[in-house]
């Protein structure tokens, strides 16, 4: 995993330098102001509590490490229908 992360970070740095990306992530973020009710019944190996009271996040680790594009797009299609939801993709 460490070798993958190192390669990912090196490749990202190279792409940022070569492509001179002008995207500013701060332009696409906002403060999460909602809160929810704590519900221990939703917690499992993939659903965890966030720092904000009553909010949770879901981890997606595809079998074999290969994400099915249709599954990701379906999840994003659903997520955009929810109030104040963020999607984060990381190595």
For the chain (91 residues), the mean pLDDT of every run of 10, in chain order, is 89 86 77 79 82 84 81 86 79 64
pLDDT of residue 10: 93
pLDDT tens column, 78-87: 888 988 887 7
E strands in 10-90: 47-49, 56-58
DSSP run (H or E) holding 78: helix 69-79
């Amino acid at each position: 995993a460490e070798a993958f992360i190192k390669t990912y970070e090196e490749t990202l740095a190279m792409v940022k330098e070569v492509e001179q990306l002008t995207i500013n992530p701060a332009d696409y973020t906002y403060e999460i102001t909602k809160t929810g009710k704590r519900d221990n019944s939703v917690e499992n190996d993939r659903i965890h509590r966030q720092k904000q009271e009553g909010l949770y996040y879901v981890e997606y680790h595809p079998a074999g490490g290969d994400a099915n594009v249709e599954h990701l797009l379906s999840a994003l299609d659903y997520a955009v229908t929810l109030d104040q939801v963020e999607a984060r993709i990381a190595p």
